């Protein structure tokens, strides 16, 4: 090979790489959103299984302002929850939770039945179902165009991932 041919091949490789790079970055961004949605959905399955296995209500709380979420046993049923966990979403992911206006309260209306203070939550009961006052939609958004929703399944036995129907 001559030096001219090698330079020509290198120029072609640089041109192809410059055309492919923007598409690859969009691919990796989409993977981050999908991965975070899968992690959240896995946590809902774990919370549901844990509620049934331990026979106590389990809360999956969502803190949209800090882009974090976690799992804990509902207060008052056991001592300290040594298996409670919390996760921070990837920095490029924003969590959105529509407000739930009819959060359950006690008969004397003096407490919120174990729901974390000022945090929306999904409450899984010991029979494996989720409470009707639980969050019905969690939106994971990346940028302005990419978004996924975690919503109850059609039979209301769990949650699933769907593309977001609302554009911002």
Q: What is the pLDDT of residues 64-90, one digit of tens each?
A: 889 999 998 886 655 666 677 889 998
pLDDT at 32: 85
pLDDT digits (tens, 9 = 90+) for 140-161: 998 777 789 999 999 988 999 9
Strand extents, DSSP E, the chain = 58-63, 68-73, 85-88, 93-96, 121-124, 138-142, 146-152, 159-163
Say whether pLDDT at 167 is over 90: no
The closest alpha carbon to 135, from 126, 147, 124, 146, belongs to 124
| 163 strand-pairing partners | 148
**SS3 state of residue 53:** helix
Give the predicted TM-score (pTM) of the model: 0.74
CB atoms within 10 A of CB 114: 17
Is 3 strand, coil or helix?
Answer: helix
Give phi and psi for 65, each to the nearest 5.
-70, -30
pLDDT digits (tens, 9 = 90+) for 19-70: 888 877 767 766 888 899 999 999 999 999 999 998 989 999 999 889 999 9
Q: What is the DSSP letter of 63?
A: E
Q: What are phi and psi of 94, to 5 degrees?
A: -115, 130
Instruction: Output 83 or 94, whichever has higher pLDDT.
Output: 94
Query: Counting Cβ atoms within 10 Å, is residue 29 exposed (0-12), middle (13-18) or buried (19+)?
Result: middle
Check whether 4 has a pLDDT greater than 80: yes
For the chain, how are helix, strand and coil distributed in percent, rounded to 5?
Answer: 35, 25, 40
């Amino acid at each position: 090979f001559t030096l001219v041919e090698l330079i020509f091949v290198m120029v072609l490789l640089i041109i192809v790489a410059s055309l492919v790079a923007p598409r690859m970055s969009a691919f990796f961004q989409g993977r981050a959103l999908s991965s975070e949605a899968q992690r959240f959905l896995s946590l809902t399955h774990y919370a549901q299984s844990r509620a049934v296995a331990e026979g106590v209500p389990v809360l999956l709380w969502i803190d949209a302002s800090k882009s974090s979420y976690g799992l804990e046993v509902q207060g008052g049923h056991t001592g300290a929850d040594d298996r409670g966990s919390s996760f921070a979403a990837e920095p490029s992911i924003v969590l959105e939770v529509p407000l739930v206006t009819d959060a359950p309260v006690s008969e004397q209306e003096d407490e919120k039945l174990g729901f974390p203070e000022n945090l929306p939550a999904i409450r899984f009961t010991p029979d494996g179902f989720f409470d009707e006052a639980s969050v019905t939609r969690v939106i994971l958004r990346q940028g302005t165009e990419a978004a996924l929703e975690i919503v109850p399944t059609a039979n209301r036995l769990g949650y699933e991932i769907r593309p977001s129907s609302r554009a911002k």
